Amino acid sequence: MYDGIKGFRDFYPGEMAARRATIDTLEDTARSYGFREIGTPALERAEMWTDKSGDDIVDELYSFEDQGGRHVTLTPELTPTVARMVVAKQQALSKPIKWFSTRPFWRYEQVQQGRQREFYQTNVDIFGSEEPEADAEILAWAADALTGLGLTGEHFEFRISHRDILEGVLESYEADVDTEAAIRAVDKSDKISQVEYHDLLIGAGLSADQAVEFDDLIAGGDLEEVKAFADTERVTAAVENLQNVLEAAEDFGAREYCTISLETARGLDYYTGVVFECFDSAGEVSRSIFGGGRYDDLIEGFGGQPTPAVGVAPGHATLPLLMQRAGVWPEEEVTTDYYVLQIGDTRPEAARIVRDLRDRGHVVETDVAGRSFGAQLNYADSINAETVVIVGEQDLENDEVTIKDMESGDQAQVPVDSFPGDLERPTFDDLE
């Protein structure tokens, strides 16, 4: 026996059916917005991460030297990859570029609730528009996808902020403040004590009094108060942009899910404007469900022409936690429309019925193991077959087959030549 690797999960058919239903909803919603599906590689050059974040990030990657002497890594996130793809064909791509994909990623980190070392995300991005409507469309897609899964405003909220508001307020202090360190402290603020949070702000360059003042201002979330405190062009423009995004979100049907939360910072350095995170409204899921935001400088940083961008990436480890809490996680079971049961030498007629039913788009199984009548019926029950079509030698002598409803146990004989006939989905009720 071999044990699975820590942080890597197996998904058996029942759970995979629930995951597939969830992914299909997210992707179908993306398609309805005009997002186009892309495919991306599992392996990238490690420099795509080390050049930006330094060699220390290697400890968080599944990186190695390949046989060609290249330093490569299993991709820990999608954004640098899609940035590379945009740069490669930037002139040929119609703008705005609207892409989505669902795939696994890998990070070597501590395994905990909602966090694995191999994890799956659905990434949805818009490249080529700096307008507030692009941010609002990302929010609207996320809201429509979640409500399509059966969630409501009682279950989730989007906490929305703007990176320039935080950076502008920090820059308004005369002290030499490390704004990136301070923003990382803000991003951690809901996971640590207030004392620890203030210590991090002080470590970033604020005085003790300034740390308290900054904390109170940001926690208050009053945009007019923020503008009055940091009366700079940068903060004023950021507040106006955030308000414009929220106004567009109102028109797009997503505003009711949005709460201004200036403590929402998103720790990644490449975010440049509006940022948001989705949280469980009841607070029972302790961490954010997913997040997103604007990253206008990334394409240029990868050698392309300046290209604004905004995106979001729901994760398929945390999203099920919210759905389960809300009672909308799909049933973890397989379902089958028909099981065609064979008794005796009836394979040719049984196979014809199987083909006809599958041609109509149904899920159909039949015996491939030479089992007895009872074993086949038990198997049909185990795969939640709705209808069993019994093709037996005695029935065929009378030019009939038996149709059995598995829920009620009722059954009836019908002419074999007229089954399935002209009916798209014939069941026992249709044949009474």
pLDDT tens-digit map of 307-337 = 999 999 999 999 999 999 999 999 999 999 9
What is the number of domains present in the chain? 2
Is residue 286 domain-shared with residue 370, that is, in the same domain? Answer: no
**Cα-based angle 325, 382, 422 (whole degrees, multiple of 5):** 100
Do 35 and 145 lie in a common domain? yes
CB 274 within 8 A of CB 310: yes
Q: Does 26 share its domain with 146?
A: yes
- Whether 77 has a binding-site annotation, put simply, is yes
- Residue 111's pLDDT is 84
Tell me: is residue 250 an annotated ligand-binding position.
no
Q: Are residues 151 and 253 in the same domain?
A: yes
- Residue 142: give the domain boundaries: 13-40+75-326
Q: Residue 121, annotated ligand binder?
A: yes
- Is 280 known as a binding-site position? no
Is 107 annotated as contributing to ligand binding?
Answer: yes
pLDDT exceeds 80 at position 176: yes
* 271 has binding-site annotation: yes
- Give me 173's structure tokens: 């202090």
Summary mean pLDDT of the chain: 93
Report the distance separating Cα 135 and Cα 120, nearest Å: 23
Rounded distance, CA 124 to CA 11, Å? 24
Q: Is the pLDDT of residue 431 over 80?
A: no
The answer, as to whether pTM is greater than 0.85, is yes
Both 342 and 315 in a single domain?
Answer: no
57 belongs to a structural domain: no
Q: For residue 20, what pLDDT is reported?
A: 97
Was 266 annotated as part of a binding site? yes
pLDDT band at 432 (very low <50, low <70, confident <90, very high): low
268 confidence band (pLDDT: 50, 70, 90): low
Distance CA 169, CA 365 (A): 64
Q: Of 404, 401, 392, 407, whose CA–CA distance to 428 is shortest? A: 404
State the pLDDT at residue 407: 94
The annotation status of 40 as a binding-site residue, yes or no, is no
The 10s digit of each residue's pLDDT in 350-400 is 999 999 999 999 999 999 999 999 999 999 999 999 999 999 999 999 999
